[in-house]
A and B are shown apart, each in its own frame.
Chain A
Amino acid sequence: MTTTTTLPTAPEATPVASPSGADAAPAASRLSATGLIRSEWIKLRSVRSTVWSYALLVAFSLGLAAVMSASLDLQGADVSQVPAANQAIFVAQASTFGVFFGQLIVAVLGVLSISGEYSTGMIRSTLAAVPKRLPALWAKVVVLFGTTFLVGLVSTVGSHLVSSAVLSGKGLQAGLFEPTVLFPVLGGALYLGLIAVFALGVGTIVRNGAGGIAVVLGLLLLVPMVLQLIPAAWATSLLPYLISNAGINMFGLMSFSEVPIAWWVDLLVVLGWIAASLIGAAALLKRRDA
């Protein structure tokens, strides 16, 4: 064995300075919240499924806004007779129509962002770097929510631009900053971010892509349908408390309740679902062997 001071390099490697070279981890480097968030951001943006999902979300939203606006047939009615408030409601609906489909895309993305780590074994690298475990989950929540909210906002604002352009040709007008429009546009993006986080929690609990997607899509699509089919009072009274119904009700487009529910009650319902999913995820992540 030679007593060289350089670290042996692989046969294919070019010679490199000592292992503790200029760029070696400085003594100050340690786990930090900002570091974990940066790490999760790198992880999120560096897999193809993320890019595809978000591109699909924006494309679907803009496309649906265009289709819905273009298909509006006023049958020769005099638009000037339509009250401004009703005009604004229609513009808002066209701007947020994509959210109904978008929630399915971000739900799948939310599950995949963690189930992909389990299926590939990446989770062991993640947890070896963050042995306290929960900080890694919280960083994932922050990054997934922030990114999905922003892309959601691009979708809803973009949809508003598209539908405004089409509808103004037909005489319907409503600006983005009219409360009737702005609230749904912001609320729709918020809802997309929250659904992604809910799905992330479910994915962490289930640890399996197919299983997690089945559970989340079942809750978003199937359960509301089943409850509507059951001709009993209890089934109908449960409807407003489903995560999807409360979320959609929240941005004021559709109501699932006989009595109007305040938007903040709907938001609390959605947050309740998310709390349940994240508390379950945190408890299991902390306890289970990886």
Chain B
Amino acid sequence: MIQAQALTKRYGSKTAVDAVEFEVQPGKVTGLLGPNGAGKSTTMRMIVGLDRPSAGSVTVNGKHYREHPAPLREVGVLLDAKAVHTGRSARNHLLAMAATHGIPAGRVDEVIELTGLASVARKRVGGFSLGMGQRLGIAAALLGDPAVLILDEPVNGLDPEGVQWVRRLMRHLAAEGRTVLLSSHLMSEMALTADHLIMLGRGRVIADAPVADVIGGAGGDSVRVRSPQATRLATLLAGPDVTVTAGEQDTLEVTGISAVEIGERAAGAGIVLHELTSIGASLEDAYMALTQNEVEYRTGGSAELQEAAR
């Protein structure tokens, strides 16, 4: 369990994290989502005491991280894959980390096996690919068999099998009752892995809800319908709560009316349908809707695209 109370971080006049309040519950995977500069990494660094909060506080299992007698057994953290001396072998890195807490060498070999690093464990980390570095970071996080895991962009640089493995690993660890907090900029990844989302924008929490609720809040589902008599169909469907947008090749995007209703009305009017598809809102849509005004670094092009998409 991680609890943040009015957690704030200022760098000079810039506020990176602004009086953030949240609770990360055990037993599920919580995703920390937000555009670049939203304060995700800063928040994670404050949880493990690498950055000192300007105001407010954050506790792990009821205590400040630094007050735990065995920090590595409370929290396993992957902040970035490069928090390793490049001149040292992976195994020596893990042995040095383990030694601080008196964790036996057997556990080091166990996490090396678990993360698939056995063949490179005695090689110097400087020659590692991004993906191997990421595996080493995950191995280090698992070293103390911790009750809380914090992983910043864990699937960065991993190949598809690696991504799938991390996803299963996170779900498994949460199912064991551990607290799992991860950040990712890959929305599809979040939708597949996380149960709960905390969305940050410009240092503030803009959403804190189960994934399904966040997606549901993105606005109603829409229906795609294709017919050779599209124009007639559009007139037929028109109503006060219904929006009909013409797409390419006789296609209409309809919101405010269900696929069943459209089918029945079309049948009643004798209109032929070639396609009738319900489209659920995606996490991506929800994310865009919520962060519309929160994006710090938005390029002109993508801003126009977002306007056009509305």
Contact = CB atoms under 8 A, between A and B. Distances in A.
Interface of A: 1, 3-4, 7-14, 16-17, 19-26, 28-32, 34-36, 38-40, 42-43, 46-49, 116-117, 120-125, 127-132, 136, 287, 289-290
A1 B80 CA distance: 28
Name, among B83, B84, B117, B118, the residue most crowded by chain A CB atoms within 10 Å (CB to CB).
Answer: B83
Interface in B108-134: 109-110, 113-119
B49 A131 contact: yes
Given A11-B162, A129-B71, A21 B110 contact: yes
Contact of B172 (A7, A117, A124): A7
7 contacts: A1-B171, A24-B107, A39-B97, A46-B92, A136-B100, A289-B50, A290-B50
Contacts of B135: 10
Contacts of A42: 92, 95-96, 99
Given A31-B100, A129-B101, A13 B113 contact: yes
Contacts of B93: 125
B73 interface: yes
Nearest to A132: B66
Contacts of A39: 96-97, 99-100
A11 B116 contact: yes
Nearest to A288: B52
A46 B88 contact: yes
Given A25-B103, A25-B144, A128-B50, A13 B70 contact: no
Interface residues of B, number: 63
Interface of B: 45, 48-52, 65-66, 68-73, 77, 79-80, 82-89, 92-93, 95-97, 99-104, 106-107, 109-110, 113-119, 135, 140, 142-145, 161-162, 165, 168-169, 171-173, 175-176
Max count, chain A CB within 10 A of own CB: residue among B52, B80, B88, B169: B88
A28 B70 CA distance: 9
Describe A's contact surface by its main secondary structure: loop
A124 B50 contact: yes
Given A8-B172, A116-B85, A129-B72, A24 B110 contact: yes
A36 B96 CA distance: 9
Contact of A11 (B50, B69, B161): B161
Contacts of B116: 9-13
B82 to A, nearest CB: 4
Given A125-B140, A131-B65, 6 more contacts: A7-B173, A13-B118, A46-B88, A117-B85, A129-B101, A289-B51
A11 B173 CA distance: 17
Contacts of A127: 49-50
Contacts of B165: 8-11
Top 7 closest pairs, chain A to chain B, by CB:
A10-B116, A12-B116, A23-B106, A131-B66, A39-B99, A30-B70, A46-B92
